[in-house]
Amino acid sequence: MWRTVARRTTIMIPQIVLLSILVFLLARSMPGDALTGLIDPSIDPAAIEEQRVKLGLNNPWYEQYWDWVTNALQGDLGQSFRFKMPVTDLIGERIANTFWLSLATLVITYLIAIPLGIISGRYNDTLADRMITGYTYIGFAAPLFIFALLMLWAFGFHFGWFPTGGSVAPGMEPGSLSYIMSKLYHLLLPATSMALITTVTTVQLLRSEIIDTKHKDFVHTARAKGASESRIYNRHILRNSLLPIAAFFGYEITGLIGGTVFIESIFSYPGMGELFLSSISVRDFTVVTSLVLLYGIAAILGALLSDLILSMVDPRIRIK
């Protein structure tokens, strides 16, 4: 087991190096550099040139890459020229919001997926199963942003049940109970909108797993021993069918990354995705590239997590 973990983790290193090179090249090809936002146009070009030399902007690309990597490892991702503050601090402000949004989405996703998957798998080819399958068909085809817009239109504007933007009501005391309640209230609609779409793959997966497991020999054995139907389903079948879903968990994280960008933009929710889009529109490229780097690392870690869970629950696929 530990050898698998070590092997799989080593594969990650070249992936992260490749990612960092990609992001670095992206950063360089974007217009402007670290000085563009800071300087006054009336400064003498010779002085700018002197600064460029001092900051190492005229060095060959591999030296610049090395400087950038060492700085990034020390937590220095550069300055945001829009907010005139270090990118690390800026992202630190937003990361918590995106984290809560993702967590709420994951919780709701599984709250929906597990009961629906069980019903649809246990009673397959009944009316309930057909309705659930119909829902997964539609959810699979519907793009997230359109569904989220419709949800915002209906429940945010038309019925006015939920706030239409922000992460917390203004003028709240941080840490107080009403502050936390307000945060939850603001999370509910965006997280539910995303979860209703992301959950369909898990429902489909769980359904087909349960239908497969139903005909396994050990289920017949359990039934022959006289175990009750509910015991067979809850203990014997569900446990085996949940394994692939557990393994899918890491990839859910990758899916959430794309989703939060849309959701945060539609619900004007101040998270990292919203920061990403607004930074592009004001050409604050240090922030943009740093976010691509962070999201890329998150996705690589998610894939690692999935592979590790999978090798833990299924010894056959451990890397030799």
303 vs 312 by CB, closer to other proteins: 303
- Minimum distance from CB of 299 to other proteins (Å)? 5
- Minimum distance from CB of 88 to other proteins (Å)? 18
Task: Name which of 160, 179, 157 is nearest 169 in CA terms.
Answer: 179
Q: How many CB atoms lie within 10 A of CB 276?
A: 21
- Give the pairing type, strands 79-80 and 85-86: antiparallel
Residue 39 CA, chain-centre distance (Å), reads: 36
Whether residue 87 contacts residue 286, with contact meaning beta carbons closer than 8 Å, is answered with yes
- Minimum distance from CB of 271 to other proteins (Å)? 13
Footprint of other proteins on 292-311 (CB under 8 A): 292, 295-296, 298-300, 303
Q: 109: which 2 tokens?
A: 């996703």
Stretch that binds other proteins, among 90-98, 123-131, 147-155, 220-228 (CB under 8 A): 147-155
Residue 6 C-beta-side C-alpha neighbours within 13 Å? 4
Stretch that binds other proteins, among 67-75, 132-140, 234-242, 308-316 (CB under 8 A): 132-140
Residue 164 DSSP SS3: coil
Residue 79 DSSP SS3: strand
Whether residue 117 contacts residue 136, with contact meaning beta carbons closer than 8 Å, is answered with no
Stretch that binds other proteins, among 119-127, 133-141, 180-188, 237-245 (CB under 8 A): 133-141
Residue 278 within binding range of other proteins, rule CB under 8 A: no
Residue 164 within binding range of other proteins, rule CB under 8 A: yes
> Which residues share a beta bridge with 80?
85
Binder of other proteins out of 15, 51, 59, 124 (CB under 8 A): 15
Binding-site ranges for other proteins (CB under 8 A)? 15, 18-19, 22, 26, 29-30, 137-138, 140-146, 149-150, 152-153, 157, 164-165, 254, 257-258, 261-262, 265-266, 276-277, 280-281, 285, 288-289, 291-292, 295-296, 298-300, 303
